[in-house]
Amino acid sequence: MIDHFHRNEKSTLNPLQSKIPAMIGFLLLISLVLSPYLAAKPGSHNKKREYVVNKSDEQWRNELTPEQYRILRQKGTERAFTGKYYKTKTPGVYLCAACGNELFSSEHKYDSGSGWPSFYKPIEDQKVEQEVDNSLFVKRTEVLCKRCGSHLGHVFDDGPKPTGKRFCINSECLRLKPEQNNDEE
């Protein structure tokens, strides 16, 4: 009777216990695979807030290029070293590619080596907003345009003095207005 009890205990508890790490691993893997899609659902962009520039998803889709729409409105990211501004040193002001809001100055731009345009501060703090981003299971701080709510990139704490911040911004989200003239580049 005792033997029978022990045999049962072995056969019901141990196999289940041994599967738990594998089950957790499997769930983590599934979540990682799905997270970019969950984080970038079309039309789900910051609906909770009203912005000065407040356009429908359809309007944004019509006005922006597909790549701009994917990054600005669906929180996408351009591939490193592929954007048009990561090496740019032209003096001027970087505007929001979606609404024209003045976001960053070439004065605060530096080469972070990351492959994305990097700034140690926005042109004014109130031009952007920051929001905790838990996608990809890494806690990051998202940077958005305060005027239209479009996604711009992320801010990290490994920037240079005086702020120690690195605003890592997608080129696709910016439009440079050079200092010399009023033409946009």
Q: Which residues are catalytic, by number?
A: 168
Q: Tell which residue, 137, 129, 142, 120, has the closest CA to residue 71.
A: 142
With CB under 5 A as the contact rule, the residue among 98, 123, 169, 176 that binds Fe ion is 98
Alpha helices in the chain (DSSP H): 2-39, 57-63, 66-68
| Cis amide prior to 162 (ω within 30 degrees) | yes
- Give whichever of 9 and 67 is closer to Fe ion, judged by the CB atom: 67
Shortest spacing between CB 60 and Fe ion, in angstroms? 11
- 147 versus 165: smaller Cβ distance to Fe ion: 147
Candidate list 144, 148, 169, 176; residue touching Fe ion; CB under 5 A: 148
Tokens of 76: 């996408």
Binding flag, residue 147, Fe ion (CB under 5 A) = yes
DSSP designation for 76: -
Q: Which is nearer to Fe ion, 35 or 127 (CB)?
A: 127
Query: Rounded CA gap, 170 and 97, in Å?
Result: 10
99 binds Fe ion (CB under 5 A): yes
Residues forming contacts to Fe ion in the complex (CB under 5 A) are 96, 98-99, 101, 145, 147-148, 150
